[in-house]
């Protein structure tokens, strides 16, 4: 702030907002840099992970009892299918190349002869 009496309330409000943001950032980052904050944050993350692990174990048992795959198993199968599709695409490209298809795109290629424009002195 300049120290003069503000005559424009809108400009004053915007300046105050900027000041508040700076203060909140400085104060907040100062606090969050502390080891106490890191400890509390990771304590909360650990609790989330513990709950997730417990939930996953429980669901896996329930699904196994009904002879159903778990989410992880479905995701793994989906991942393997995707990997097979990726490999098939690779084989397809290799076959196209072996079959004589041009490696470079069929689209018209630009001329690669551009030089820098003359700079104004």
Partner 1 sequence: MSEADLLERARLEFDRAMQRNIKGLSYFASPAPVLGASPKDLLLQRGTMNLYRYRPMADEVYRVPLLLVMATTNRGYIFDMVPGQSLVEFLLKAGYDVFMLDWNPPRADERSLRLEDYVLDFVPRAIEAVAAETGEPDFTLVGYCFGGVLSLLWAALHSNGPCRNLVCFTTPVDFRAMEMFQAWADRRFFDVDRLVDSFGNCPPDMLYAAFDMLRPGARVAGNIRLWDNLWSDEFVQSYRMFDRWAADMLPLAGEYFRQTTKLLMWENRLYEGGMEVDGRPIDLGRIAMPFLHVVAEHDHIVPRGASAPLIGMVGSADKEEVVLKGGHVSLVAGANAVRRLWPRLDDWLQERSL
Identify the three-state secondary structure at position 118.
coil
Does 72 interact with partner 1 (rule: CB under 8 A)? Answer: yes
Using a 10 angstrom Cβ sphere, with 0-12 exposed, 13-18 middle and 19 or more buried, the burial of residue 113 is exposed
Does 47 interact with partner 1 (rule: CB under 8 A)? Answer: no
Q: Which of residues 12, 45, 58, 62 is near partner 1 by CB under 8 A? A: 45
User: The dihedral of CA 102, 106, 111, 117: what is its sign?
Assistant: negative
Judged by CB under 8 A, the number of residues near partner 1 is 54
Does 58 interact with partner 1 (rule: CB under 8 A)? Answer: no
Write down the least CB distance from residue 47 to partner 1, Å.
12
Answer for the pair 60, 70: CB distance below 8 angstroms, yes or no. Answer: yes
Q: Which of residues 62, 64, 68, 83 is near partner 1 by CB under 8 A? A: 83
Does 106 interact with partner 1 (rule: CB under 8 A)? Answer: no
- Rounded CA separation 50/56 (Å): 10
Answer for the pair 43, 25: CB distance below 8 angstroms, yes or no. Answer: no
Alpha-carbon radius of gyration of the chain: 31
Residues within the interface to partner 1 (CB under 8 A): 7-8, 10, 13-14, 17-18, 20-25, 28-29, 32-35, 37-39, 41-43, 45-46, 49, 52-53, 72, 75-76, 78-80, 82-83, 86, 89-90, 103-105, 107, 109-117
């Amino acid at each position: 702030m300049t120290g003069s009496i503000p005559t424009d309330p809108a400009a004053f409000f915007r300046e105050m907002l900027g000041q508040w943001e700076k203060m909140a950032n400085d104060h907040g980052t100062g606090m969050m840099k502390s080891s106490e904050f890191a400890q509390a944050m990771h304590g909360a993350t650990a609790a989330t992970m513990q709950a997730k692990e417990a939930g996953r174990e429980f669901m896996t048992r329930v699904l196994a009892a009904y002879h159903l795959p778990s989410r992880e198993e479905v995701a793994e199968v989906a991942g393997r299918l995707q990997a097979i599709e990726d490999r098939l695409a690779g084989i397809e490209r290799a076959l196209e190349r072996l079959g004589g298809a041009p490696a470079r795109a069929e689209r018209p290629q630009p001329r690669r002869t551009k030089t820098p424009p003359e700079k104004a002195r």
